[in-house]
């Protein structure tokens, strides 16, 4: 029997929990990575109350939720999703660098990797000297993860457990929790809840969580090229006026939250912090619904086409970490400085933070890219014109892994509401 868990099947692999057939595909990469439930973009003087709905605990344990969850985990059985994430240099190399920088806190310790996927982070931790790594994975890719562990002769250190972290059982506390839980717009997929569960149940007092903090940003953007490609095209098609297609083109192109890459030149203002997350303190309840008011001042004259959302994740090092620690494997720090704002005015100095994985437009591209909410019609703004309103992000009643977006925005005396679901 391997220490730490009772349902050991040999070769470092344990299967805990039942498997169900998926009803649809969901997950980062490929089909179903984004979508829309409902969008409204019309002048309004009052706000909608639909964003106040929250999934209850009864809903989360219902058979329908179990079906959704089974489909969610089944999507991560597809190798393409894992290939996309591993090939994301900024993502994978930053995690490896964080493990190197925190080697003193990992060597000789017990680590839990929540949602290990193919097991690469678990292997990084083992190479950094972890005494034992519990690699938790609910999707069928756990089978391949176990084979990868064996191929690297780490079966005595890395134990792949096939099951949801909320359902598995181990017989010891852990010193470190590592997880790549961030979804599009940071909170899509609601995987942070699983990290919180693992933290509260298994992390020792004073233990390490990687990443330690995360911050979600938004900013108004201009993107005329995107409108020309999606809408302007129909005004002259081989000399034929097909502008009758424009309303449908706008609906198809701009109803959904779009996952795409923009540049820093598209951003009209300093970004605004929607939510700062301390992974040591955050609760699942406070993530069910997040509302904040924002106020921007445009830096230039341009059409306002929508809002962009992105995030960064911080890997804060222990204060006792020696400088210049040499490790068994090397890595380059590929992350670039993130332009962020305190009170929407001043920069937050990177020197005050640990290693940062940024998905900002000016940073090294990642598979998360940015999430863009486009308007049906742009708003012309002048330099120093105020853009203000509120945004609410909440777990969907349709499926708590989906993300409701309720956006209210005003500028130049006009007010609008846009609602959508990232699913």
Catalytic residue positions, numbered: 180, 189
Residue 51 CA to its chain's centroid (Å): 20
* Coil, strand or helix at 162: strand
- 405 exposure class (CB count in 10 Å sphere: 0-12, 13-18, 19+): buried
Helix (H) or strand (E) holding 111: strand 110-114
* Cα–Cα dist 341/296, whole Å: 11
DSSP 344: T
Alpha helices in 134-254 (DSSP H): 141-151, 192-202, 224-230, 246-254
* Cα–Cα dist 253/231, whole Å: 8
Note if the bond before 47 is cis, omega within 30 degrees: no
Which tokens go with 237?
Answer: 């098609």
Query: 90: closest CA among 262, 270, 312, 351?
Result: 312
- Whole-Å CA distances, 69 to 182, 237, 271, 386, 400: 17, 44, 33, 42, 9
Query: 71: closest CA among 28, 20, 30?
Result: 20
Structural contact between residues 174 and 202, judged by C-beta atoms closer than 8 angstroms:
yes
Which tokens go with 377?
Answer: 């019609």
- 337 exposure class (CB count in 10 Å sphere: 0-12, 13-18, 19+): middle
């Amino acid at each position: 029997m391997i220490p730490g868990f009772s349902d050991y099947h040999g070769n470092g692999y344990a299967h805990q929990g039942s498997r169900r057939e998926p009803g649809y595909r969901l997950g980062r990469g490929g089909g179903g990575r984004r979508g829309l439930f409902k969008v409204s973009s019309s002048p309004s003087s009052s706000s909608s109350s639909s964003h106040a709905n929250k999934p209850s605990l009864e809903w989360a344990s219902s058979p329908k939720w179990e079906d959704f969850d089974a489909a969610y985990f089944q999507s991560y059985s597809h190798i393409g999703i894992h290939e996309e994430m591993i090939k994301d240099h900024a993502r994978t190399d930053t995690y490896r660098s964080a493990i190197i920088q925190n080697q003193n806190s990992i060597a000789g310790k017990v680590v839990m990797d929540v949602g290990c996927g193919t097991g690469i982070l678990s292997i990084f931790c083992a190479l950094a000297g972890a005494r034992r790594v519990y690699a938790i994975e609910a999707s069928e890719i756990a089978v391949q993860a176990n084979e990868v562990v064996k191929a690297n002769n780490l079966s005595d250190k890395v134990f792949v457990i096939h099951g949801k972290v909320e359902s598995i059982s181990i017989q010891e506390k852990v010193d470190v929790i590592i997880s790549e839980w961030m979804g599009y717009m940071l909170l899509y997929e609601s995987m942070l809840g699983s990290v919180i569960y693992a933290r509260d149940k298994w992390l020792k007092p004073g233990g390490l969580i990687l990443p330690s903090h995360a911050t979600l940003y938004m900013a108004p953007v201009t993107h005329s090229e995107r409108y020309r490609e999606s809408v302007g095209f129909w005004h002259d098609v081989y000399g034929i006026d097909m502008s009758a297609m424009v309303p449908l083109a706008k609906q198809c192109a701009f109803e959904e939250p779009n996952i795409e890459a923009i540049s820093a030149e598209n951003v009209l203002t300093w970004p605004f912090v929607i939510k700062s997350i301390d992974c040591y303190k955050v609760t699942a309840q406070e993530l069910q619904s997040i509302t904040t008011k924002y106020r921007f001042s445009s830096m230039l004259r341009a059409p306002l086409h929508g809002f962009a959302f992105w995030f960064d994740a911080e890997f804060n090092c222990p204060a006792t970490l020696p400088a210049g620690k040499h490790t068994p494997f090397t890595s380059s720090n590929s992350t670039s400085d993130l332009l962020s704002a305190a009170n929407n005015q001043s920069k937050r100095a990177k020197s005050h933070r640990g290693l940062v994985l940024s998905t900002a437009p000016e940073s090294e591209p990642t598979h998360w890219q940015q999430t863009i909410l486009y308007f049906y019609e742009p708003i012309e703004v002048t330099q120093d014109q105020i853009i203000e309103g509120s945004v609410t992000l909440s777990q969907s009643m349709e499926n708590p892994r989906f993300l409701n977006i309720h956006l209210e925005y005003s500028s130049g005396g006009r007010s609008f509401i846009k609602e959508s679901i990232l699913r």
